[in-house]
Structure 1
C-alpha cells in the first residue's frame, strides 16, 4: 500500500468507512457478479460456510439464505466499519436465514473452521502471503468441500476501471508506478496460471478457472446525465482508480471529474452507465 500502510489500516481507515457508507451502491453494481458466483457455488441446506472478505455482508446473507436455518455461515473481514454494517443487515434477517457470525479476522492466518464450503467475492487478492493464506484456507475446508471465488482479470479487460482511469491518467503530473509482482491488490491474480499453481501447491485439487464477463451498472439515474454523474462519483470515490485523485488539488480534481464524466457519458443509455467487468470464477477442492 502507498506510504507503507497495511491492508488492515487501509480497510479500517477512511476507505473502509467510505465503502461502508456506500454499501447499497456497491452491492447494486456488483449484483450480476454476485449472482454468477452463487450460480456456481455448491451450497446445500444445512452446510457450514465461510465467506472470505465478506465486507458489508451481501454475500454472507445470500449464503445464509441458501443453507437455511439448519446451516451456519461465518463472514470474515479485516474491516470493522464494513462489519458493523454487515451485523446491522443480518439482524434484520435472522429469522429467515442460517445463524450468522461475523468475525474481524485475517483468514490468511485465523482458524475459523471447519467448513463444507468457502466462498469469496473479490476477497482473496489482498493477503500479504498468498501461499500461506491458501494453505490455511485449505485446512479449514472439510473433506469433499469446495472453495469458490471471484477475482479480477486484467485491468484493460475491466472497462469499469479502465475507462475512467484512461481519462484521468493524461492529467496527472506523472504516471502512477506499476504494482510490484505478487503484492496485494485487485488485479493480483489477473494471470490465471500462477493462481492455479498456487492453489495446487496449497493442497487443492480439481482446480478450475473460468472466464466470467458481465456488464455492470456503474451509475444510474432518471436521465443519462444523472446516470453519468452517479457513475463519475463511483469511479472517483469507490473504484480502484479513485486513489489517483483522492488527494489531488481542487483544480486537478475538477478537471479529472470533467474528463471522467465525458468518458462515461459515451456509455450512458436508458438512464444507466454500463461497462464490462471481467473476472475469473475459480473453484477448487
Structure 2
C-alpha cells in the first residue's frame, strides 16, 4: 500500500529521478487525458488545480493551451515539484509543495489529475473537501488505472515472480485503488460530484526503448512500481532469479525497438452541481 505521506520521502524522490521515464510510460495516454481536460475547461478565464501534479506535465500542457487560465500544480514531493519548476516557465503557471486539498483555498473552476487521486488516504473525504472549495459548476477530470489484469506491466511482472498478477489489487491507496468504476462513481456521488460514465482508454505502457530497450525497461522496473519494492525487500539469494524473470517478461514485450505493455485506464469527468458564473 502506498500512502500519500510516502510521497514526501523516498518514493517521491525516486519518481523525481525517474520523471522522464514515467512521463514516457504515460505518453500514449496523455493526449486522451489532455483532450478531456480541455473539453471540460470553462470557455472564460478560470482557475485550475492539478492534484498530485508530479513532474508537472499535465499542468504545463493545460497552462500552455489556455493562456487565460491560472494553473496551480500541487504535490507532496519537494523533488517532483523541483522538476516541475524546471520546465519552461509560463506566466499563468505555478507549482507548490502541499496537499492538493490545502491548495484549494479559493474557488477552483477545474481540478485535473493524471493518476494522482488513487493515493488519497481517505478518497471520499478528499473529494468532498475539493467539492467544498470548488466554484459552482466546477469540473473534475482525472485518470486512473483500470483493473490490474488489464495492465500487463504490473500483472506480467508479478506472474514472473510467482505471484498471481490477475488477482484484484484491492482498494487500499495505490496504483489500482480506483480500478472499480462502480466504487469510484459511488465515492464521487457521496462527495458531492455528478460524474459521467468514465471513458476507458487502452494504451501501450512504454517501459523501455532504444538499442538496449529490454535493459532500459528492467532498470525502470527496478525503480518504479510494486516489483521494485518486492526486489528491494527480497533476500539477496532470491534476487538474481527474480531479475531473470523480470527480464524475460520485458523481452516478451519487445517489438520494433520498444518494450510496450498493454495497459488500460479510466478517464473520469465530473461536475459540481450549480451554475458557473
Same fold (TM > 0.5): yes
Residue matched to 2:172: 183
Aligned length: 267
Contact 1:218 1:275 in 2 (8 A): yes
Superposed, which structure 2 residues align to 1:265-280 within 5 Å?
A: 265-280=251-266
Contact 2:214 2:251 in 1 (8 A): yes
Single out whichever of 41-50 and 204-213 deviates more from structure 2: 41-50
DSSP-derived class of the 2:85 partner? helix
User: What are the Cα deviations for residues 88-111 of structure 1, in whole angstroms up to 9, with x where unaligned?
Assistant: 22xxx22xx342221222224553
In 2 relative to 1, CA 140–98 (structure 1 residues): closer, same or farther, beyond 3 Å?
farther
The 2-side partners of 1:156 and 1:180 are apart by 9
Residue matched to 2:65: 66
In 2 relative to 1, CA 103–82 (structure 1 residues): closer, same or farther, beyond 3 Å?
same
Q: What are structure 1's unaligned runs of at least 5 residues?
A: none
Superposed, which structure 2 residues align to 1:1-285 within 5 Å?
A: 1=1, 7-8=4-5, 10-41=6-37, 42-43=40-41, 44=43, 46-68=45-67, 70-89=68-87, 93-94=88-89, 97-108=90-101, 110-169=103-162, 182-222=171-211, 226-285=212-271
- Pick 1 or 2: higher relative contact order, CA cutoff 8 A, min separation 6: 2
Q: Report the alpha carbon displacement of residue 45 of structure 1 after superposing the two structures with TM.
A: 6.6
Please report the RMSD computed on the Cα atoms of aligned residues, expressed in angstroms.
2.2
DSSP-derived class of the 2:65 partner? helix
| TM-score calculated relative to the size of structure 2 | 0.89
The 2-side partners of 1:121 and 1:38 are apart by 9
User: What are the Cα deviations for residues 130-157 of structure 1, in whole angstroms up to 9, with x where unaligned?
Assistant: 1110011112322222101001111111
The 2-side partners of 1:36 and 1:212 are apart by 8
The 2-side partners of 1:247 and 1:206 are apart by 40
The 1-side partners of 2:227 and 2:34 are apart by 27
The 2-side partners of 1:255 and 1:189 are apart by 32
User: What are the Cα deviations for residues 222-275 of structure 1, in whole angstroms up to 9, with x where unaligned?
Assistant: 2xxx11111111122212332111232333222211111112111101110111
Q: What are structure 2's unaligned runs of at least 5 residues?
A: 272-277
Q: Report the alpha carbon displacement of residue 62 of structure 1 after superposing the two structures with TM.
A: 0.7
The 2-side partners of 1:49 and 1:160 are apart by 32
Single out whichever of 157-166 and 136-145 deviates more from structure 2: 136-145
The 2-side partners of 1:184 and 1:151 are apart by 12
